[in-house]
Structure 1
Amino acid sequence: MKEVTVQELKSFLDTHADFQLIDVREPFEYEVSNLNGLNIPLAGILIEADKIAKDIPVIIQCRSGKRSAQAVLLLEQQGFDNLSNLKGGILAWKEEIDPEIEVY
């Protein structure tokens, strides 16, 4: 499974790279804090797979990297080959990029 670090994600965001960010946490978690990704909870990832790009890089994130890793595995079984897991999730983002972001 491909992974990207929070530093790599920040670089993508800073340079306005052409990619898609998917947040697989639950809506109530997304409301607490998010990185402006598209919110598709893990339980619905296969049902809403048509919302996920196949022609540009896609980074999947969650709180710690565990649920997003599950999402990557599920989607790869459906033929996606452009996915990366955000290593450490939003917790790593808080620790390494933005200590002010709220996490739970």
Structure 2
Amino acid sequence: MKEISAKELEQKLAQGEKLNIIDVREVDEVTAGKIPEAIHIPLGLIEFKMNELDKSKEYIMVCRSGGRSGRATQFLESQGYKVVNMSGGMLDWEGKTE
């Protein structure tokens, strides 16, 4: 499973890279703040929403600490998607939130 650190992701966004970020936390967690560019799809809905994702794009999965996003990454990888897990999750995130 490919991984990216919160710092590396923050640097890519600061350089203006267009990234596809999916936050798999629950609604109440996202309400407390998410990465501005992130799309919110709770982990429990990934299986049902994956047909809305483009297999030609790479997605960066985010959660609170990296565990749930890791499970989402492994699942989507097994379905043929290009995915990267943000290790450390939002606990390690020091960038802007909305």
Q: TM-score, normalised to structure 2's length?
A: 0.89
Residue in structure 1 matched with residue 55 of structure 2 by the alignment: 54
1:28 deviates by: 1.2
Between the two structures, name the one with larger relative contact order (CA 8 Å, sep ≥ 6).
2
Q: Decide whether the 8 Å contact of 1:61 with 1:90 is kept in 2.
A: yes
The residue that corresponds to 1:65 in the other structure is 66
**Partners of 1:24 and 1:39 within 8 A in 2:** yes
More strand by share: 2
Kindly state the Cα deviation for residue 39 of structure 1 after the two structures are TM-superposed.
Answer: 0.4
CA distance in 1, matches of 2:78, 2:9: 24
Which structure 1 residue ranges, 5 or more long, are not aligned?
none
Alignment coverage as a number of residue pairs: 96
Give the 3-state SS of the residue equivalent to 2:7 in structure 1: helix
- Output one character per residue of 1:31-62: Cα deviation in whole Å (capped at 9) or x when no partner: 01111210000001010012333223211000
Specify the SS of the correspondent of 2:48.
coil
Matched residue, 1:78? 79
8 Å contact from structure 1 (residues 20, 53) kept in 2: no
Alignment of 1:14-33 (within 5 A): 14-33=14-33
- SS in structure 2 of the partner of residue 16 of structure 1: coil
Structure 2 vs 1, CA of residues 18 and 55 (structure 1 numbering), >3 Å: closer, same or farther? Answer: farther
Unaligned runs of 5+ in 2: none
